[in-house]
Amino acid sequence: MEAALFKMNGRISFEKPDIEKLRSEGLTCVDMHFHTCYSDSYTRPEDAVKLAETLNMGVAITDHNQVGGVIDAMESGTDVPIVPGIELSASDGPHILAYFYDWKDLKSFWDLNIKDNIRWCQWIALKNMPTPKMLDLLEKENCVISAAHPMGYLGSNKGLEVCIRKNYIHKSEAKRFDAFEVISGGLFRDGNVRASEIAEKYNFGITGGTDGHLLTELGDVVTVSEADDIDAFLDNIVKRRNRVIGKEKNLLTKAFMGLASLTEFCRHTPSVGFVQLDQTIMNARRKINPPVKNSSELAGGESAERDLE
C-alpha cells in the first residue's frame, strides 16, 4: 500500500471513489471542497454533515470568504471528520483554499483579515486582497494552502495557473502554495489532467474535492489519507502522503449547480458588475507593468525561483 500512497503517479485516480472499500483499508476520505448556504449554495451545513456520516467520510466546508458553515458544522457535535476551510477569492483573480487545523484559528483569521474586505456580494473577489498579500497573511497561520481549480473555470481568472500564464501573477507565487487541487468536480477532465501534470512535475502536494453546491455531489471526489485525525490528515497533504480519487460532474449536474449558484449571484448583479470592471482595469495595468517576484524570492536570489511553465 505504501508505494501506491506515496508515489505521485499512483496518487491521482479519475474514477468514482469506493468509499466503503477505502474505509475498510483504514483510510480516511474527505471531500475537500464543499459549499453551503453561507455562500452560493442552498445546502445547509447540518445536511452535509448528516450525509457525510451516512457515507462514512469527512467533509471540508469551504464557503467563499465565509466561515459560518464551518462553525455550524463544528458545533453540531458530530463525530464526522470536519476540516475547517475557506475558499478565498483574491482580488486579482485566483481562488485559494485554506485548511486550518483549528476552526477557532480560522475564525480569528477571518475576523482580523477577511471580514472587513468582503463586498456586498459576499462570495466574489475581496477588496484590496491580491494573491501575494493573501499568501503573506496565510503564511503566518497554521494552515494548509491549496490552489483551487488552478486552470480556472470556462476561461475565467479564478485559478492560479491561468493567471500565471496570462502574466497577471508572477510564477514565483506558485511555490508558496502547499498543494494544487488536482481534481475539481466542477471542471472538465482536461483542466484537471493539466493541473495533475503540473502538480506531478513540480512535486506539489495534492487535494481534491467536488466543489459541490448540491448535496448529492458530496463524496464524488475525495482526498484520501492514512490518518487518525485532522492534524495528521492535513500534515499528510503537505508531506505528499495522500491520494485524490474522483470523477467530474456530468453535464446535467453542472447545469443544475450553475443554475443554483446563478440565482444567488443575480441578487447581487451591481456588485458583481463592479468587480468585473475593477478586475478589467487591474488586468490592463498588469499588461503595462508585469508582476515581479515576491519579496521572499527577491531575498533568496535568482536561484531560489521554481521554474514553473
Per residue of the chain (309 residues), give pLDDT as tens: 333 333 445 899 999 999 999 999 999 999 999 999 998 888 999 999 999 999 999 999 999 999 999 999 999 888 999 999 999 999 999 999 999 999 999 999 999 999 999 987 787 889 999 999 999 999 999 999 999 999 998 778 899 999 999 888 999 999 999 999 999 998 999 999 999 999 998 899 999 999 999 999 999 999 999 999 999 999 999 999 999 999 998 766 656 555 555 555 555 555 555 555 566 666 666 666 777 776 444 333 333 334 454
Domain for residue 82, yes or no? yes
Partners of 61 in beta bridges? 34, 84
Residue 174 belongs to a domain with what CATH number? 3.20.20.140
Domain for residue 252, yes or no? yes
Number of domains in the chain: 1
Handedness of CA 209, 210, 215, 220 (dihedral sign): negative
The amino acid sitting at 38 is Y
Set of cell numbers at residue 195: 493541473
Helix axes 269-288, 251-266, angle to 10 degrees: 100
Spatial distance between the Cα atoms of 111 and 278, rounded to a whole number of angstroms: 25
Note the pTM of the prediction, 2 decimals: 0.86
Spatial distance between the Cα atoms of 203 and 175, rounded to a whole number of angstroms: 10
Spatial distance between the Cα atoms of 289 and 102, rounded to a whole number of angstroms: 39
The residue range of the domain holding 107 is 10-304
Domain for residue 4, yes or no? no
14: burial class by Cβ within 10 Å (0-12, 13-18, 19+)? Answer: middle
Which residues lie closer than 8 Å to 163 by C-beta, 6 or more apart?
92, 93, 94, 131, 152, 157, 169
Spatial distance between the Cα atoms of 279 and 163, rounded to a whole number of angstroms: 12
Residue 181: which of 307, 95, 308 has the closest Cα?
A: 95
DSSP 111: I
Domain for residue 36, yes or no? yes
Which residues lie closer than 8 Å to 118 by C-beta, 6 or more apart?
65, 126, 127
Domain for residue 27, yes or no? yes
**What pLDDT, on a 0 to 100 scale, did the predictor assign at position 7?**
40
Residue 169: which of 4, 11, 21, 308 has the closest Cα?
A: 308
**What pLDDT, on a 0 to 100 scale, did the predictor assign at position 154?**
76
Domain for residue 309, yes or no? no
Element at 58 (helix H, strand E): strand 58-61
The amino acid sitting at 23 is R
Domain for residue 291, yes or no? yes
Domain for residue 201, yes or no? yes
Element at 209 (helix H, strand E): strand 205-209
**What pLDDT, on a 0 to 100 scale, did the predictor assign at position 262?**
58
**What pLDDT, on a 0 to 100 scale, did the predictor assign at position 124?**
84
